[in-house]
């Protein structure tokens, strides 16, 4: 008899925000239908932006045969309104709703995602405490990428200490205007060198106009794994700009996340216009250097968790099954190996 498996503090799957509600994949359709019958007072315990993704993902995972690889999400954020984890002083408008590790785990279970890489969210700036505690609590399910202050000469030492807390990489976010000019400054080579020595990836969130600046550092540190986030958010109406990113294909240690099809697109799902970026990157880099990611919960302002997966798994018709096995799993494992 199929059944819904829930955490110890919850009797139905409605309380995603407070439990690791887990739907067994073979039982997903029945479990989702039970969720639909859950009393309204239970559903109100979970914010609406997570509820829909959970239900649709559970139904979808029942309809699609499980792949012969484990799906790994390369890019999410988590946060929690908690005095133990104060927002940075620069965060004048903090998120209204939590996006906790437990909420994420529920969505992962419902959609057949087995492992996830969590990127330190900017709301905390350089205080990685909440994510560090998440990594300690869920060592099998998550890897973490930290943030350090790129304008602090002590950043390399901070990164070394963070790797002792299970972090596997650092994220830098140079803005396209003068505020991001530190990417060309004297503090970058020591930080990139430390990354290389620690054998942890450097991840870059940057506009496409910053790619030439990053390329200078990539040239200096060819043995360092570098991951470019969100296709550099290259506008779909400026396809020629993508050539700056494509130029990095010559560096074998550079990888690209094909996330943000949903935010770049000017169309409805499945975002055919932004899929053209992915198609060109696939032709240039090949599937072994591309990886998908949901960017949950940022993505929920545009779409649902399940669609950020389905667009790659089901809607990118130019990808074959082997391509998807790399982009949904094996490429990410190359950069962030997970335990079995």
pLDDT tens for each residue of 122-137: 999 999 999 999 999 9
The more confidently predicted of residues 272 and 43 is 272
Residue 243 pLDDT more than 80? yes
Rounded to 10 degrees, what is the CA torsion of 334, 72, 103, 12? -140
CATH of domain 67-335: 3.20.20.140
φ, ψ for residue 241 (rounded to 5)? Answer: -65, -25
Provide the pLDDT for residue 67.
76
Provide the pLDDT for residue 208.
98
Rounded to 10 degrees, what is the CA torsion of 217, 218, 221, 227? 120
C-alpha–C-alpha distance, residues 278 and 276, integer Å:
5
Provide the pLDDT for residue 340.
85
Query: Domain residue spans in the chain?
Result: 67-335
From the number of C-beta atoms within 10 Å of its C-beta (0-12, 13-18, 19+), residue 37 rates as exposed
Provide the pLDDT for residue 51.
55
> Mean pLDDT in the chain?
87
Please compute the mean of the pLDDT values over residues 293-302 and round it to a whole number. Answer: 97
C-alpha–C-alpha distance, residues 239 and 88, integer Å:
36
Please give the structure tokens belonging to residue 92.
């004048």
Q: Could you tell me if 80 and 130 are in contact, meaning their C-beta atoms sit under 8 angstroms apart?
A: yes
Q: Can you list the positions of beta strands (E) in the chain?
A: 71-76, 113-119, 142-147, 167-172, 202-204, 226-228, 254-257, 290-291
Please compute the mean of the pLDDT values over residues 180-205 and round it to a whole number. Answer: 98
Give the pTM.
0.82
């Amino acid at each position: 008899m199929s059944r819904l498996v829930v955490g110890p503090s919850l009797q139905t799957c409605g309380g995603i925000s407070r439990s690791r509600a887990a739907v067994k994949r073979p039982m997903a359709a029945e479990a989702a239908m039970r969720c639909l019958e859950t009393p309204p007072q239970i559903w109100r315990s979970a914010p609406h932006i997570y509820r829909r993704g959970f239900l649709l993902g559970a139904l979808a995972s029942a309809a699609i045969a499980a792949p012969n690889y484990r799906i790994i999400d390369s890019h999410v954020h988590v946060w929690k309104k908690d005095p133990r984890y104060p927002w940075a002083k620069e965060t004048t408008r903090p998120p209204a709703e939590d996006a906790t590790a437990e909420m994420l785990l529920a969505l992962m279970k419902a959609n057949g995602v087995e492992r996830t890489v969590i990127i330190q969210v900017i709301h905390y700036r350089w205080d990685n405490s909440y994510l560090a505690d998440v990594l300690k609590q869920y060592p099998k399910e998550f890897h973490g990428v930290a943030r350090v202050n790129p304008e602090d000469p002590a950043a390399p030492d901070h990164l070394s200490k963070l790797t002792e807390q299970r972090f596997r990489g650092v994220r830098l976010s140079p803005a396209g205007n003068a505020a991001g000019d530190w990417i060309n400054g004297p503090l970058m080579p020591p930080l990139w060198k430390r990354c290389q020595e620690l054998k942890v990836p450097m991840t870059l969130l940057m506009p496409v106009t910053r790619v030439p600046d990053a390329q200078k550092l990539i040239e200096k540190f060819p043995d360092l794994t570098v991951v470019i986030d969100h296709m550099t958010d290259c506008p779909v109406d400026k396809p020629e700009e993508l050539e700056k990113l494509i130029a990095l294909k010559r560096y074998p240690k550079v990888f690209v996340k094909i996330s943000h099809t949903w935010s770049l697109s000017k169309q409805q799902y499945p975002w055919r216009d932004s899929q053209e970026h992915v198609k060109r990157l696939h032709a240039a880099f090949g599937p072994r250097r591309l990886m998908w990611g949901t960017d949950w919960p940022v993505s929920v302002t545009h779409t649902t968790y399940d669609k950020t997966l389905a667009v790659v798994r089901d809607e990118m018709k130019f990808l074959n099954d082997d391509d998807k096995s790399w982009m949904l799993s094996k490429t990410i494992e190359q950069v962030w190996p997970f335990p079995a």
